[in-house]
Chain A
Amino acid sequence: MIGNILLRSAGFRFAVIYAALLVASAFGLAFFLWWSTAGLLDRQTEAAIQTDAESLWEHWLEDGMRGLVATIEDRVAQNIDDDAIYLLVDPQGRRVAGNLERWPTAVAEAGQVFELQLQRAGMRSMARVQRFDVPNGYHLLIGRDIQLRLQLRALLKNALLWAVTVVAVMAAIGGLVVRNLFRRALHSVSVTAAAIAAGDLAQRVRHSGRGDEFDQLADVINDMLDRISRLMDGVKQVSNAIAHDLRTPITRARTRLEDALLHAATREELQAAIERATADLDDIVRVFQALMRISEIEAGSRRSSFERIDLAPLLRGVEDMYGVVAEEREIALAVEVPNQLNAYGDAALIQQAVANLVDNAIKFSPSAATVRLSAVVGPTGIEIVVTDQGPGIPKADVGKATERFFRGESARSTPGAGLGLSLVQAVAQLHGGALRLEDGTPGLRAVLFLPQADDAT
C-alpha cells in the first residue's frame, strides 16, 4: 500500500533512480579498482614464476643438474625479500636444493598453479607454487610467498567495501534531497492547478526567478491559463451578450407579432407586421452569426488554414468594394498599398477585418472627409492603417471599443451591432498581432498589426 503510493510518486522514483545510479557506478568503480590491483598482483606472481622456470631451465641445459642446484642456492641466498620459494627433489622425493623442507602433498600435477598454506621457517604463510618436471625423475617447485600480497588485498577489499557503503548512504541522502527539490519545484504548479480546479481562475504558477526549466514550464502553464481564461471570458461575454443584447431585438420581433395578432385589422397590416418581424429576426441571426464567427476565430482553429498570401490585391479588393460606397457619401477613399505585401495568415479573415475597419471609417466620417487605407512593412511586421476624420473614440472608451456589443456615444445613431472591432481584434490576435486604436486628431487611426511570421514555412 505505502509502497504503491511511493512508487506512484515521481519524486520518489527520481530519488531511487538517482541513488541506484550512484551506487551502481560506485560498485563499477570498486570492481575496476579491485580487478586492476588485486588481479595485477596475481598476474605478476604468475609471470615471476614463469620467468624463474625459464631461466632455471636454461641453467640446466647449460650445466646440467649441478648448474641447476647452484643457481637455486644462489637465488635463495640473494633473495632479500625472502618471498621466493624453490624446492628441487630427487625421484625418491628427497630434497636436493631449495628453501622448503618437504614437498607439499597437494602439488601433484605439473604445469598447474596451486595456492596453498606452507610452513616456512616456523611461520605459516600463503604461497603460490607451480611444479615443473626436470629430466631424470627430478621435480622442481617454484613459487612465491604471497602473504604480504594477501594482506594488501584484504586491506583493499575493506577499503572498497567501506567506500561503497559510504556511497550508498550518500546516495540515500542525495535521493531524499533530489526528491525534495523535485517536490518543491512542482509544488507551485500543483498548488496553482488545485486552486484552478477549485474554480479560482486568477491563480498563476509562481516563478522561482532562476529562469530554469521549471520557470519555463511555469511560463507555458501560465500562457495556457491566460488563454483558457480569455476563452472563458469570451464565452461569458457571449452568454451575457445573448442574455442582454439579443433580448432587445427578440422582444421587438415578438411584440410586433403579438401586436399584429391582436390589433391588425387588415390582411395588409398583418403582412407588413410579419415582414418587419422577419427582418428583425434576420438582424438577430446576423448578429448571432457575427458572434459565432468571432468565437470561431478566437478558438484559434482557423490557424490550420494559414498560408502565404499577398495582401496587396486583397487590400485593393477592399478599395474596390468600398470605393463606391465612399463616393456615394462624398468621402474620398485614399489607398496607399505597395505592389506586393507578403504575409502569412488567413486571407479571408484579414480581408474581413480590413473591410470592417474601412466600413467603420466611412460610416463615422462626415461628408467631404478623407478615409485613408495604407499598409507599410515594418521591421517586425505589417501595419495596415485606416484613418478617418470622424469623431474618434474617447480615451476612456478605447479599451472597451473592442468588446462585443460596445457602442460608443457617437455610434448611437449609426447602424451596427458593435461587433465590428471585436472581430478585427480577434483576427489580429489569431495572427499573433494586435489592433491599436489611436488618436488621429481628428478622427480615429486604427492600426491592424500583423507580425512577420519567419518561422512559418
Chain B
Amino acid sequence: MRILVVEDDKDVAGFVVRGLKESGHVVEHADNGRDGLFLAASEKFDAIVLDRMLPGGIDGLHILETLRGQKNAVPVLILSALAAVDERVKGLQAGGDDYLTKPFAFSELLARVEALGRRGNSEGPVTRLKVEDLELDLLARQVRRAGQKIDLQPREFRLLEYLMRHAGQVVTRTMLLEGVWDYHFDPQTNVIDVHVSRLRQKVDKPFPVSLIQTVRNAGYMLRAEPV
C-alpha cells in the first residue's frame, strides 16, 4: 500500500514511517499541514494517517474537509491526542474513516491502516466469504468448513464474518469490540479473548489446521499458516 503520514512529532512520525515500511508499505511523510494537504491532494494514496493538530496554520480536520470537498475518498485514519468522545465524533463527521487516540500501540495503527486500505479496494456487496476450506454464506447465514456445517450463535457468526472480511490481516481486540459489538470502551476483562476462544472451539478444534491465529501483542488473524 502507498501510505501518507502527516504528523509533526519527529519521534512519532519516524516510528510510524519505519514501522509501516517494515510491514512492506510505501510511505510518504509530511511534517506540517501545508505539505500534507499538497501531497494528499496531488498524489494518489491507498490510505492517509493524519494527525489532527499540525503546525503551519492548516490542521488535520482542515486537510480532511478539503479532501472530502474535492470528492477525494482516500481512506483516512485520524491520529490524535484529543480523546474525548466529542472530538472523536468531530473527526468522523469531518470525513475520517477511523480515529485512533495517542498514545497508541503500533500494532493497532498498522491493523487499522491495513483494514482501511483493504476497504478502499473491495467493491460491491459480498454474499460469500471463503478462506481456505472455511466458507461463510452471508445470505443463508451458514458456515461450513470442509463441507461440514458449523452451528454458530448470531454473535459468533458476526465475529467470524469480521475475521474473514479481514482475512490475512491483523485484527486487534479494540477493532473487534468496535466492529462486532459496537463497544467504544475498554471492557476491562478479556472478554474478546473468551469470545474468540469460543469461536475456535467450533471452527478450529475439530479440524487439523487452525485458521484463527493469535498475534502476540496485537490481536488475531485469520489465515492457514501460524504467525
Contacts and interface: CB of A to CB of B under 8 A. Distances in A.
A175 B105 CA distance: 72
Contacts of B181: 317, 320-321
A292 B103 CA distance: 14
A362 B189 contact: yes
Interface stretch (A101-109, A162-170, A347-355): A347-355
Interface stretch (B52-60, B119-127, B191-199): B191-199
Contacts of A285: 103
A293 interface: yes
Indicate the size class of the contact surface on chain A. Answer: 20 to 34
A351 B186 contact: no
Contacts of B198: 324
Interface string B185-226: 111110100110010000000000000000001000000000
Nearest to A299: B84
Contacts of B183: 321, 351-352, 355
Contact of A296 (B85, B101, B182, B189): B85
B189 A302 contact: no
Contacts of B191: 321-322, 324-325
B86 interface: yes
B187 A355 contact: yes
A289 interface: yes
A282 interface: yes
A415 B198 CA distance: 22
A363 interface: yes
Interface of B: 83-86, 101, 103, 105, 155, 181-189, 191, 194-195, 198, 217
30 contacts: A275-B217, A281-B103, A282-B105, A285-B103, A286-B186, A289-B101, A290-B186, A292-B84, A296-B84, A301-B86, A302-B85, A305-B85, A317-B182, A321-B183, A321-B187, A321-B191, A322-B191, A324-B191, A324-B194, A324-B195, A325-B189, A328-B194, A351-B183, A352-B185, A355-B187, A356-B188, A359-B187, A362-B189, A415-B189, A416-B188
Interface of A: 275, 281-282, 285-286, 289-290, 292-293, 296, 301-302, 305, 317, 320-322, 324-325, 328, 348, 351-352, 355-356, 359, 362-363, 415-416, 420
